[in-house]
């Protein structure tokens, strides 16, 4: 018999005394939104919703029509749930908050969901994989929203992503392993594909935007040369999709390393800490890999702003250990 995502969550929650069903109710909002998004993406060319809307988002990036749709789908599917205190999106400058009780004994206003509704926007129009990334935080008892959000990534209660590719795949963790599900269109449900996924200890791909290499700090160039010259005992090949979710998914399955170091254009890194690096770092660690930023573990960074950027490197144990050595950590 199949196991659906909802059933899996319920099984994981069994035995947790505080589990009230609220969490699986919350996740049902995320899965519904991602089903709406994948349906829209599949028909995008026919429905004429490719392209930019002629407006920039808080990051100063061109908003695509599908970015806007994906954001609205998540706001719609999650905003009505009374367990949600706030929604923090890449597309919105400020958190969307709901005036709900923060009483820790009640189920209302208990969670904050941070998300990148459609990651890899520059790939949307060319039919290359894109994804949705989410991170779930608990609102601090009687805490303000900002204070609850600006906490290190190791406080996440769950994280995951959906990659919209040849099939629609959902990967998530609640801190108890990494599990993946494939959307079965015939029944409209995410069905368990693999439990307790583990990243290979070493891979044979590196993934980075090499066009930026000339402006990286020297140690990263040295590291790339180490991989290219066979210094880790393997011949490496490069794979860079430019959709973070897709590059992460490949690294999870095949191992290797992804690097987005500081560049002269983006000295503080390009990728966003709260809704890109933190959830993916949580998944990487749960799968036996690791993830670092400018000064160490991603999950230990205390965020200063909701749209903060960070250098971001993640991957298999062997490649990450060698990177730490080259960076002198």
Provide the minimum distance between the beta carbon of 130 and ligand FDP in the complex, in angstroms, as a whole number.
8
Position 242 contacts ligand FDP (CB under 6 A): yes
H or E stretch at 259: strand 257-260
Position 238 contacts ligand FDP (CB under 6 A): no
| Stretch of 147-155, 193-201, 269-277, 315-323 contacting ligand FDP, by CB under 6 A | 269-277
Q: Which residue is nearest to ligand FDP (CB)?
A: 122
Among 35, 65, 179, 270, binds ligand FDP (CB under 6 A): 270
Position 244 contacts ligand FDP (CB under 6 A): yes
Q: Closer to ligand FDP at the Cβ: 181 or 258?
A: 258
Q: Which residues contact 193 (CB under 8 A, 6 or more apart)?
A: 169, 180, 181, 182
Position 122 contacts ligand FDP (CB under 6 A): yes
The count of residues in the chain is 329
Tell me how many helices (H) and strands (E) the chain has: 8, 17
Long-range contacts of 175-180 (CB under 8 A, 24+ apart): 175/282, 175/286, 176/12, 176/286, 177/286, 178/252, 178/283, 178/286, 178/287, 179/8
Q: Closer to ligand FDP at the Cβ: 91 or 111?
A: 91
DSSP for 141-163 reads TT--HHHHHSS-GGG-SEEEEEE
Position 271 contacts ligand FDP (CB under 6 A): yes
- Interface characters, 173-212, with ligand FDP (x: CB under 6 A): ------------------------------------x---
With beta carbons less than 8 A apart as the criterion, state whether 317 and 289 touch: yes
Provide the minimum distance between the beta carbon of 270 and ligand FDP in the complex, in angstroms, as a whole number.
6
Position 121 contacts ligand FDP (CB under 6 A): yes
Cα–Cα separations (whole angstroms), residue 293 to 164, 198, 233, 324: 26, 22, 25, 11
Angle subtended at Cα 276 by Cα 75 and Cα 45, rounded to the nearest 5 degrees: 60
Position 51 contacts ligand FDP (CB under 6 A): no
Provide the minimum distance between the beta carbon of 18 and ligand FDP in the complex, in angstroms, as a whole number.
34
CA torsion sign, 282 to 287 to 293 to 297?
positive
| Stretch of 91-99, 113-121, 172-180, 289-297 contacting ligand FDP, by CB under 6 A | 113-121
Q: What are phi and psi of 76, to 5 degrees?
A: -70, -45
Position 119 contacts ligand FDP (CB under 6 A): yes
Among 168, 243, 290, 310, binds ligand FDP (CB under 6 A): 243
Position 67 contacts ligand FDP (CB under 6 A): no
| Stretch of 75-83, 178-186, 189-197, 240-248 contacting ligand FDP, by CB under 6 A | 240-248
> Would you tell me which residues interact with ligand FDP (CB under 6 A)?
119-123, 209, 242-244, 247, 270-271, 276
């Amino acid at each position: 018999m199949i196991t659906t995502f909802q059933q899996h969550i319920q099984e994981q929650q069994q035995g947790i005394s505080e589990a009230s069903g609220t969490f699986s109710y919350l996740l049902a909002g995320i899965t519904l939104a991602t089903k709406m998004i994948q349906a829209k993406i599949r028909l995008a060319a026919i429905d004429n919703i490719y392209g930019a809307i002629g407006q920039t988002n808080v990051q100063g990036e061109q908003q695509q029509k599908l970015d806007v749709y994906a954001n609205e789908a998540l706001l719609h599917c999650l905003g009505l749930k009374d367990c949600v205190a706030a929604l923090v999106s890449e597309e919105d400058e400020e958190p969307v908050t709901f005036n709900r009780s923060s009483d820790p004994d009640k189920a209302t206003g208990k969670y904050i969901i941070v998300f990148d509704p459609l990651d890899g926007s520059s790939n949307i129009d060319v039919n290359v994989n894109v994804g949705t990334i989410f991170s779930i935080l608990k609102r601090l008892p009687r805490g303000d929203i900002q204070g609850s959000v600006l906490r290190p990534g190791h406080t996440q209660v769950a994280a995951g992503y959906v990659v919209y590719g040849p099939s629609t795949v959902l990967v998530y963790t609640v801190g108890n392993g990494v599990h993946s599900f494939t959307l079965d269109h015939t029944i409209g449900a995410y069905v368990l594909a693999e439990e307790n996924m583990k990243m290979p200890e070493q891979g044979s791909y590196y993934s980075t935007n090499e066009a930026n290499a000339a402006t990286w700090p020297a140690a990263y160039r040295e590291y790339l040369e180490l991989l290219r010259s066979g210094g880790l005992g393997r011949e490496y090949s490069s794979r860079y999709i430019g959709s973070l979710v897709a590059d992460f998914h490949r690294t999870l399955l095949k191992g290797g390393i992804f690097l987005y170091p500081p560049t002269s254009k983006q000295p503080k890194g390009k990728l966003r800490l709260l809704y890109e690096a933190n959830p993916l770092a949580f998944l990487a660690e749960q799968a036996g890999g690791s993830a670092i930023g400018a000064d160490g573990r991603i999950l230990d960074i205390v965020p200063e702003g909701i749209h903060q950027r960070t250098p971001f490197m993640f991957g298999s144990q062997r490649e990450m250990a060698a990177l730490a050595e080259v960076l002198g950590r």
